[in-house]
Amino acid sequence: MEEQESSILERYRTDLRGVVGSSASAYGYTLTIWSTGAMLSHLYGAPSLPKIFLFLGGAVLAFALVGVLAFGGVTKRFGGGSGRVELWGSVHFLSGGMAVGAAWLVGAYASSLAGWPLGAFVATAVYLSVVGVENTASELARTRLEGYNR
C-alpha cells in the first residue's frame, strides 16, 4: 500500500511539473499585464471603452513586433528554444517587475490617451524581452552545471 501511495505521489508531482512548466510564460505575462492595467488605472482612473481597446492594441502591437524580431517574419513557425528552463528562470519577478516599472514611467509622463496604448506596449515588449534573457540565463546555468558535474 505504501508503494502505491508513493507511486501516486510521484505521478502527481510529474503532472504538476508539467502544468507549472507549460503555464510559466502565460502566468508571468498575466501578472504583468494585469499589474500594468491596475497601475495605469491608479494613475489615470478607470479607462473608457476606447482606451481599453487602445491598451489591447498596444499589447498586441508589441507582441507582434517582438515576435517578428524573434522569428524574422510573420510566416515563421513556433517551436524554438530548448524547452528546458530551470524553475528559477520562470518565476518572472525580474521580467514582470521591469515591465510594470517601464509602463509606470510611461504612465507618469504620458497623457491618458497616449499612456494606455504605450503602457501596454512597453510592458509587453519589456516582459517578452526580459523573459528571453531569464530563459537564456537559466539554460546557460544549467549547461554549465552539467559541465561541472561530468
- Domain for residue 8, yes or no? no
- Domain for residue 6, yes or no? no
What pLDDT does residue 6 have? 80
Q: Band of the pLDDT at 25, cuts 50, 70, 90?
A: confident
Angle at 22 between CA 130 and CA 143, to 5 degrees: 60
* DSSP secondary structure letter of residue 48: P
Cell 523573459, residue located:
131
- Domain for residue 7, yes or no? no
pLDDT tens digit sequence for 30-83: 999 999 999 999 999 999 999 999 999 999 999 999 999 988 887 777 765 555
**Domain total of the chain:** 1
pLDDT tens digit sequence for 93-103: 899 999 999 99
Range of the domain at 85: 23-148
